[in-house]
C-alpha cells in the first residue's frame, strides 16, 4: 500500500505542475543486469517501490529549476495579452473561436505556448430560451483572457438545439420575463403579471315567494316559480413585484395589486326577487369595479432574533442554524384561518405577521382586519378608485401550526379568533335591510362580541387521510332579534334581549386512495339553540366562512342561498353550511340563535385521466334543533329532516395546466319532512283550489370557465 500511495502522489504532482517539462519524466530500465531482472520477477512489489523512488528523486532535482522560471513566463504572457488587446477591435463577438495553432515562442522546453494558441474569449451570440427583455451586459469588457464578468447571469444564451423548446411572451408556462422567470430590475427583482377571465353560469330552481303580479290573478299559492338564471363575469388583472429568489427563501419584499371588473345578470320568474321594489321587474343587469388585493409585504428578519423567548438555551444573540424567518403583510389580502375555512375566509383590509420556527416545523399567523363593506351583487370589496366603504367590524386572528404531530405527515393547528361587530344600519343595493336582520322582532341595532377557540388537523396516518376541526364559541350579543321575538311571545316584548354565547362546531373527514379512486366519509355538526326564550345563545355561527367541505360547489345545500320566504333572512347562505338565519352571508351580522345542523357525507373522487377529474357527492342533512325556526315562522311543528343532497361534477384542464380550467356540475335536493314543513303551503281547501301545492324539485346546474395568463 505504501508503494501505491507513493506512486500515485508522484503522478499527481507531475500532472498538475504548470511547467510542461515536468510531465515528461521517463523511467528507463537498465539493460543487462540479470540479477536485477531476477529480483523483479521474485519480488515485483519491491521493484515498483524502487521505480517510484527514482521518479521522486528526478522530480526533486527538476522542480526548483521549473519553479524559478514561472515569474518570467507570467510576465511574457501578460505582455503578449496587452499587445493583443491593443490590436484587436473593441467590440466582442458572441462565440468562442479556435484559431489555427501558431509556432510557440520563448526558449527552453518549459516555455508556455504563444497566446495566439489560446481560444479568444467572446460574449455568446446565443439567445436565452425564454421570452426576455434585452440583456444589460452591453459591453462588460474582459478582466483578462481567462474569464469575463457577466452581470446579467439570467440571460446567458444557449446554442440552437432541437431538444430545447423556446419560450414565447404569450406562453406563461415557458420561461417568460412577465411571469417572474427573469428579473425585471437587477438580478433579484421580479415581476409577475396575471390576466384572467372567469365566466360562471348557473341555472337553478329555488323556493321563492310569489311576487306582486297581475299576470296570474287566480294563482293563490304562496310559493311562486323558482327557476332562475344567473351569469357572472370577472375580468381579473394582477401585478406582483417582489425582491428575492423565492425558490430558495422567502422574498425580501413584495407589492401586489389585483383589480376585478365584474358584470352580472340575473333573470327570474317572479317579482320582488331581484329587488324589493317590484317596479324593477324580473331581471337585473349590474356591474362593479373593485380592488380585490392591494398589499405590501416585507421580511422583518430571522424569527429567533425578533422573538427572543423562542431562542432557547445556548443561543448567541438569536443566531440559529435554521433559516426561520418572519414577515409582515399590510393591505387588502386574502386570509383563511384554518384548513377548510370553517370560521373566517375572506379578502379584506388588514395587517398580518407570519413566519416559521424550528426549521419550519412550526408556522404562525397574527392578524388584524378592519372589515370593508361588500358589493351586494358581485360580492367584491366595495372599494374602487372613487370611494371606499368601511364597516364597523374588527376581526383578530392568531393561529399556530405544528407539522408531523403524532405521526409524520399530520399537521395540528390551534386557532383563536375574536369578532367585534359594532351596532350599524345597512340596506343593500337591492333595498333589503341587512343590518340589523329583518327577522323576528326587528329592527334594533345590536353589538356582537364573539370569541372562537379551535383545534384543527390535516394530514394522513399511513394511507388514511384525515381532516378534523372543533370550535368553541363564546361571547355576548346585546340584543338578538330572534330572542326579542321569543320575549314578546311570553309578554316581555320591547326590551333588549342580551344573549350569552355558548356554541360548538365539529367536523371530520376520512378518505383513502385506491389507485385512481378516492373514497370519502365525513360528518359535520353545528349546535342549535333549543330554547330561544332563555339568555343563552347556543347556535353556532361563523364570522365570514366559505368551507370547502362535504362537496363544496358540487353540493346544492353548500352552494345555493335558500331564503326564508316569510322573513328578510336566509335559511342558509351561498358557500356556507350552517343554517344561521342571517340576513346576508357577506353583509349581515352573526346570529347565534339558530337551528344548527347535523350532516353526514359520502363521496368519491375519480381521476378519470390526468386532465379530467370527476366528483360524486351525497349529503344527508338534519336540523339539530328547530325551536328557533318554529318561533320565527310562527309554525309548529317543524321537523328535523332537511333532506338528501346529491351532486355530480368535474374539473377539466385540457392543457394540463392552470391556463384553461373548465368546471361543471349538477346537484339536487330531495326535501325531507322538515324542509317540507317550511316550504309547503297547507292552505288547500274548497275555496282555494290552486293553493296547497307541495315543494317543487330543487336543482342547480352550473358551468365555470377560467382562462388565465
DSSP assigned state of 154? G
Q: What is the pLDDT of residues 283-321, one digit of tens each?
A: 999 999 999 999 999 999 888 888 776 666 656 666 666
* Most trustworthy range by pLDDT among 301-315, 527-541, 669-683: 527-541
**Which tens digit of pLDDT belongs to each residue from 444-485?**
889 999 999 999 999 999 999 999 999 999 999 998 888 887
Reading the block at residue 393, the C-alpha cell is: 367590524
pLDDT for res 365 = 97
Which uninterrupted H or E stretch holds 562?
strand 562-563
Average pLDDT over residues 606-612: 96
pLDDT at 138 over 80: no
Kindly provide the b/e burial profile for residues 71-86, where b requires at least 16 CB atoms within 10 angstroms of the residue's own CB.
eebeebbeebbeeeee
Do 632 and 666 contact (CB within 8 A), yes or no? no
| Rounded-to-integer distance, Cα 325 and Cα 359, Å | 9
Minimum mean pLDDT among 102-116, 402-416, 603-617, 684-698: which range? 102-116
Q: What is the pLDDT of residue 53?
A: 74
Given the C-alpha cell 540479470, which residue does it identify?
Answer: 34
Q: What is the pLDDT of residue 256?
A: 97
Mean pLDDT of the chain: 81
pLDDT digits (tens, 9 = 90+) for 37-62: 454 454 556 666 777 677 767 666 66
pLDDT for 92 beyond 50: no
Check residue 702 and give its pLDDT.
97
| 542 pLDDT more than 70 | yes
Higher pLDDT, 359 or 70: 359
Q: How confident is the model at residue 129 (pLDDT cuts 50, 70, 90)?
A: confident
Encode pLDDT of 11-23 as tens digits: 444 444 444 443 3
Of 141-155, 195-209, 520-534, least confident by mean pLDDT is 141-155
Grid cell listed for 309: 423567548
Please say whether the beta carbons of 322 and 335 come within 8 A: no
**Do 202 and 574 form a contact (C-beta atoms < 8 A)?**
no
User: Would you say residue 115 has pLDDT above 70?
Assistant: no
Structural contact between residues 525 and 597, judged by C-beta atoms closer than 8 angstroms = yes
pLDDT of 236 over the 90 cut:
yes
The pLDDT value given to residue 74 = 55
Identify whether the C-beta of residue 499 lies closer than 8 Å to the C-beta of residue 476: yes
pTM > 0.85? no
Residue 358: the pLDDT is 87
Which CATH number applies to 189-681+692-708: 2.60.40.420, 3.30.300.30, 2.40.160.100, 3.30.365.10?
A: 2.40.160.100
When pLDDT is cut at 50, 70 and 90, the band that residue 393 belongs to is very high
Length of the chain: 709
Q: Where in the chain is the domain with CATH 2.40.160.100?
A: 189-681+692-708
pLDDT of the residue at 88: 46
Query: Model confidence at 588, in pLDDT bands (50, 70, 90)?
Result: very high
**pLDDT of amino acid 679:** 86
User: What number is the average pLDDT over the span 601-628?
Assistant: 96
Helices (H) and strands (E) in the chain, counts: 8, 23
Is residue 36's pLDDT more than 70?
A: no
44-87 helix and 2-16 helix, angle to the nearest 10 degrees: 20
Residue ranges of the alpha helices (H) in 132-245? none
Based on C-alpha coordinates, what's the Rg of the chain? 38
Residue 321 three-state SS: coil
Provide the pLDDT for residue 4.
44
CA distances to 83, 116, 121, 459 from 93, in Å: 19, 17, 9, 57
* Cα(95)–Cα(123) distance, integer angstroms: 6
Q: Average pLDDT of 79-89?
A: 50
CA nearest 406: which of 457, 339, 337, 352?
457
- Say if CB 503 and CB 538 are below 8 A apart: yes
Amino acid at each position: 500500500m505504501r508503494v501505491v500511495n507513493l506512486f500515485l502522489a508522484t503522478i499527481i504532482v507531475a500532472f498538475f505542475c504548470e511547467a510542461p517539462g515536468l510531465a515528461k519524466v521517463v523511467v528507463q530500465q537498465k539493460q543487462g543486469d540479470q540479477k536485477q531482472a531476477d529480483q523483479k520477477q521474485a519480488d515485483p512489489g519491491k521493484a515498483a517501490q524502487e521505480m517510484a523512488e527514482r521518479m521522486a528523486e528526478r522530480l526533486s532535482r527538476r522542480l526548483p529549476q521549473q519553479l524559478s522560471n514561472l515569474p518570467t513566463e507570467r510576465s511574457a504572457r501578460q505582455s503578449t495579452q496587452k499587445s493583443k488587446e491593443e490590436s484587436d477591435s473593441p467590440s466582442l463577438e458572441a462565440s468562442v473561436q479556435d484559431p489555427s495553432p501558431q509556432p510557440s515562442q520563448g526558449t527552453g522546453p518549459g516555455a508556455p505556448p504563444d497566446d495566439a494558441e489560446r481560444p479568444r474569449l467572446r460574449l455568446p451570440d446565443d439567445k436565452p430560451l425564454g421570452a426576455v427583455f434585452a440583456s444589460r451586459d452591453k459591453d462588460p469588457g474582459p478582466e483578462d483572457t481567462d474569464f469575463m464578468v457577466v452581470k446579467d447571469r439570467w440571460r446567458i444564451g444557449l446554442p440552437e438545439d432541437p431538444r430545447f423548446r423556446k419560450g414565447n411572451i404569450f406562453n406563461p408556462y415557458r420561461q417568460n420575463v412577465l411571469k417572474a422567470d427573469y428579473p425585471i430590475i437587477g438580478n433579484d427583482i421580479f415581476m409577475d403579471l396575471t390576466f384572467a377571465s372567469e365566466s360562471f353560469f348557473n341555472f337553478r330552481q329555488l323556493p321563492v315567494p310569489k311576487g306582486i303580479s297581475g299576470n296570474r290573478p287566480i294563482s293563490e299559492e304562496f310559493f311562486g316559480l323558482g327557476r332562475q338564471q344567473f351569469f357572472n363575469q370577472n375580468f381579473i388583472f394582477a401585478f406582483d413585484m417582489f425582491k428575492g429568489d423565492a425558490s430558495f427563501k422567502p422574498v425580501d419584499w413584495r407589492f401586489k395589486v389585483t383589480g376585478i371588473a365584474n358584470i352580472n345578470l340575473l333573470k327570474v320568474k317572479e317579482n320582488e326577487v331581484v329587488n324589493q321594489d317590484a317596479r324593477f321587474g324580473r331581471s337585473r343587469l349590474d356591474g362593479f369595479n373593485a380592488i380585490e388585493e392591494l398589499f405590501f409585504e416585507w421580511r422583518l428578519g430571522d424569527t429567533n432574533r425578533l422573538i427572543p423567548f423562542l431562542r432557547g438555551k445556548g443561543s448567541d444573540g438569536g443566531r440559529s442554524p435554521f433559516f426561520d424567518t418572519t414577515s409582515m403583510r399590510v393591505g387588502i389580502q386574502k386570509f383563511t384561518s384554518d384548513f377548510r375555512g370553517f370560521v373566517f375566509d375572506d379578502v379584506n383590509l388588514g395587517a398580518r405577521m407570519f413566519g416559521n420556527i424550528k426549521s419550519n416545523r412550526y408556522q404562525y399567523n397574527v392578524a388584524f382586519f378592519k372589515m370593508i363593506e361588500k358589493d351586494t351583487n358581485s360580492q367584491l370589496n366595495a372599494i374602487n378608485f372613487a370611494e371606499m366603504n368601511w364597516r364597523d367590524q374588527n376581526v383578530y386572528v392568531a393561529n399556530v401550526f405544528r407539522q408531523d404531530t403524532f405521526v409524520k405527515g399530520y399537521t395540528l393547528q390551534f386557532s383563536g379568533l375574536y369578532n367585534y361587530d359594532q351596532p350599524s344600519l345597512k340596506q343593500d343595493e337591492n333595498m333589503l335591510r341587512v343590518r340589523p336582520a329583518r327577522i323576528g322582532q326587528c329592527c334594533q341595532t345590536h353589538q356582537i362580541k364573539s370569541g372562537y377557540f379551535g383545534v384543527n388537523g390535516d394530514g394522513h396516518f399511513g394511507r388514511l387521510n384525515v381532516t378534523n376541526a372543533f370550535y368553541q364559541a363564546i361571547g355576548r350579543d346585546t340584543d338578538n332579534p330572534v330572542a326579542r321575538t321569543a320575549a314578546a311571545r311570553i309578554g316581555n316584548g320591547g326590551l333588549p334581549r342580551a344573549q350569552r354565547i355558548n356554541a360548538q362546531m365539529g367536523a371530520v373527514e376520512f378518505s383513502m386512495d385506491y389507485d385512481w379512486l378516492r373514497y370519502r366519509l365525513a360528518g359535520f355538526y353545528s349546535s342549535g339553540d333549543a330554547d330561544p326564550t332563555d339568555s343563552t345563545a347556543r347556535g353556532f355561527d361563523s364570522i365570514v366562512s366559505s368551507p370547502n367541505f362535504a362537496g363544496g360547489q358540487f353540493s346544492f345545500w353548500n352552494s345555493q342561498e335558500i331564503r326564508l320566504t316569510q322573513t328578510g333572512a336566509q335559511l342558509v347562505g351561498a358557500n356556507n353550511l350552517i343554517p344561521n338565519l342571517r340576513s346576508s352571508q357577506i353583509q349581515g351580522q352573526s346570529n347565534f340563535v339558530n337551528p344548527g345542523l347535523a350532516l353526514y357525507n359520502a363521496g368519491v373522487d375519480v381521476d378519470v385521466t390526468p386532465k379530467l377529474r370527476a366528483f360524486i357527492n351525497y349529503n344527508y342533512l338534519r336540523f339539530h334543533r328547530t325551536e328557533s325556526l318554529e318561533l320565527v315562522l310562527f309554525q309548529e311543528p317543524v321537523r328535523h329532516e332537511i333532506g338528501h343532497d346529491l351532486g355530480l361534477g368535474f374539473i377539466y384542464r385540457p392543457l394540463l395546466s392552470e391556463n384553461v380550467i373548465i368546471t361543471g356540475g349538477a346537484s339536487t335536493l330531495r326535501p325531507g319532512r322538515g324542509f317540507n314543513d317550511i316550504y309547503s303551503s297547507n292552505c288547500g281547501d274548497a275555496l282555494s283550489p290552486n293553493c296547497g301545492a307541495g315543494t317543487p324539485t330543487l336543482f342547480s346546474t352550473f358551468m365555470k370557465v377560467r382562462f388565465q395568463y
